[in-house]
Amino acid sequence: MNTIRLAPIDYSILAVYFLFVLGIGWTLRRYMRSSTDFFLSGRSIPAWVAGLAFLSANLGAQEVIGMAASGAKYGIATSHFYWIGAIPAMLFVGLFMMPFYYGSRARSVPEYLRLRFDEKTRALNAISFATMTVFSSGISMYAMGLLLGALLGWDFNVSIFVSAVIVLLYIFLGGLTSAIYNEVLQFFLIVAGFIPLVFLGMRDVGGWAGLTQRLSVTAQQAGYAPGAWTQSWQHMGSAAANPMGVEWFGLVMGLGFVLSFGYWTTDFLVIQRAMAANSMSAARRTPLIAAFPKMLFPFLVILPGMIAMALTTKAGTTGFALPVKPDGTLNYDMSIPMMLAHYFPPGVLGLGMTALMASFMSGMAGNVTAFNTVWTYDIYQAHINKKASDHHYLMMGRFATIGGIALSVLTAYLTTQFNNIMDMLQLVFAFVNAPLFATFLLGMFWRRTTGHAAFTGLLSGTLAAAAHHGLTLPVHAAVGIHGGWLGPVLKHYPSDMAQNFWTAIFAWTTCFVVTIVVSVLTRPRPAEELRGLVYSLTEKQSDAHEVWYKRPTTLAVVLLVALVALNIIFF
């Protein structure tokens, strides 16, 4: 693809956005007087702001670029990442888990593990989570470099450096509050930038009927039934019948339960936003408010990828085709950048570029703010310097921001080994979030769970993920970061995503079983030490005093009805 030239108006829109982002950080710097202000926004954020930030923290390059890439590679089945792989877990965290997080006054997810279990469990999770945030931030940086290089001809290294410096400045100055308010801005920019892209693309392919007809050709060329790209459930009876290469059990268990609940209920990146809310009620509503727009995002981020694949199928008549990587596979990550270049005129192109920049900044900022909090509280204060002043920890958080971004730059280059960044992201989640969810599930709902068991189970689950990944490999993939690095490959999966789902299942199951066995063999803590940390020993939250639209249970019922309707419509 040839690079394009932005008009002066496009550069003006980008410049205004960057200045505004930095201005927020500069304005908020005067309010960063304590470590609580820097890491948790002083617990003063309104529910609607926290809700949009909760959503936007997840709305980074992984979602915008990755979900579009998955839409091209796997079709409408990618919607499962939302309708069974996000919404149910978001309801669960709002209704059941926020009372533990917010009520315990823990400053991070690893700190909750210390309160519930012990220091060694906290340390293990802190290290694994910090590693995950670095990889996630690196994925956003890679996507930024990919976009600027493909559309504008910028050098990949320069693109990464520019994005890193901008995120560093506004987080260094304004901490979590700066990140949250920028995430709200980024949410509206992404919606405004992608609605016209979807409209133009759907008009070009002839609406849903035309898209279905074109993608039936794609499916048949790939050896699947005509509806494999446009029907979300009908081809899940067999792993060989759909491009995602997973059957319904692997999908529901691996994605809908383990990966989904593991991410949304334990990932401090998003939990941190809810913990910044100004009350318990607001904290519980935060993920529920986020779930409403989250449910509709497949129409903004998956459809463009499906349209790109449909246009590629008819490349001879449309002049559009996804580029091919050196290994001969389509570069699905280029779906959104190429759609922008294909459809948007000057001015509108600047808006679309700004929306993409916003998603990259959101992804990097969210992960970096989570990293600096966990590093400062759960690693540095807990194990290196326990008696420093609050000002010292505030400065350490700022220096951790620099370190986190520097490490993220290194991981950005590993991402070049995948043709779909969502494949790499779910692999990271399978190693970190899947076993952690088993630990949390038992720790919160079975008070017999012990600290020794939690640590042993968490470590065993992570090792099980490594063993499964090291002994399996997606078809046509080389041994290395894709798997097979432990020796003889025992199983080949149809796709990276199928391998990720089963890696997560093995990790969760191993952690769950080992934790139960070790708990039975070790002595539990007294009940009085677990009040507020275990469901049976925690005061139940009542929302009867709230107006109906502020009640978490009412919001949850509305969401569930809409969720069932969407799955039926696109069955």
pLDDT at 340: 85
**Burial (CB count <10 Å: 0-12, 13-18, 19+), residue 389:** exposed
Is 499 in contact with 483 (CB distance < 8 Å)?
A: yes
Cβ–Cβ under 8 Å, residues 97 and 444: yes
Q: What is the pLDDT of residues 169-187, one digit of tens each?
A: 767 766 666 667 777 777 8
Asked which of 6-10, 26-30, 122-126 is least confident by mean pLDDT, the reply is 26-30
Average pLDDT value over all residues in the chain: 86
Residue 531 reports pLDDT greater than 80: yes
Q: Which CATH class is domain 8-426?
A: mainly alpha
Per-residue confidence (pLDDT) for residue 498, from 0 to 100: 94
Please give the Cα distance from 485 to 209 (Å, whole number).
44
C-alpha dihedral sign at 113, 115, 117, 121 = positive
CA 74 to chain centre: 18
Residue 476, sorted as left (phi over 0), alpha (psi -120 to 50) or beta, turns out to be left
What residues pair up with 492 in beta bridges, in sequence order? Answer: 473
Digit-coded pLDDT (tens) for 340-352: 888 888 888 888 8
* pLDDT higher at 479 or 160: 479
**Highest mean pLDDT (candidates 101-105, 172-176, 177-181, 330-334):** 330-334
Top-confidence range, 138-142, 271-275, 367-371, 479-483:
479-483
Of 211-220, 318-327, 511-520, the range with the lowest mean pLDDT is 318-327
Q: Is it the case that residue 415 has pLDDT exceeding 80? A: no
Per-residue pLDDT band at 36 (split at 50, 70, 90): low
How much is the pLDDT for 122? 93
pLDDT at residue 207 in the model = 94
Question: Can you give the pLDDT at residue 1?
Answer: 46
- State the average pLDDT over residues 542-554: 82
Tell me the average pLDDT across 54-65: 76
CA dist., res. 429 & res. 500, Å (int): 9
483: helix, strand or coil: strand
* Region 263-282 average pLDDT: 83
- pLDDT reading at 148 higher than 90: no
Contacts of 363 (CB under 8 A, 6+ apart): 59, 60, 61, 62, 63, 136, 137, 139, 140, 143
Q: Which tops the pLDDT comparison, 147 or 407?
A: 407
| Residue 409 pLDDT exceeds 50 | yes
Span between the terminal Cα atoms of the chain, in Å: 36
Backbone angles phi and psi of 45, in degrees to 5: -85, 130
Higher-confidence residue of 3 and 506: namely: 506
Residue 174's pLDDT is what? 63
Choice among 328-332, 462-466, 494-498, 525-529 with the minimum mean pLDDT: 328-332
**Percentage of the chain lying above the pLDDT 90 cut:** 42
Q: What would the two tokens of residue 131 be?
A: 């590693």
User: What is residue 566's three-state secondary structure?
Assistant: helix
Average pLDDT over residues 479-503: 92
DSSP string, 38-101: HHHGGG-B-HHHHHHHHHHTT-SHHHHHHHHHHHHHHGGGGGHHHHTTTHHHHHHIIIIIHHHH
User: Rounded to two decimals, what is the model's pTM?
Assistant: 0.82
- Residue scoring higher pLDDT (522 or 544): 522
pLDDT single digits (tens) 417-467: 776 778 888 998 999 999 999 999 999 999 999 999 999 999 999 999 999
- Taking 60 as the threshold, does the pLDDT of residue 41 lie above it? no
Q: Cα–Cα distance between 74 and 81 in angstroms, integer?
A: 12
The secondary structure of residue 487, as a DSSP letter, is S
pLDDT of residue 410: 82
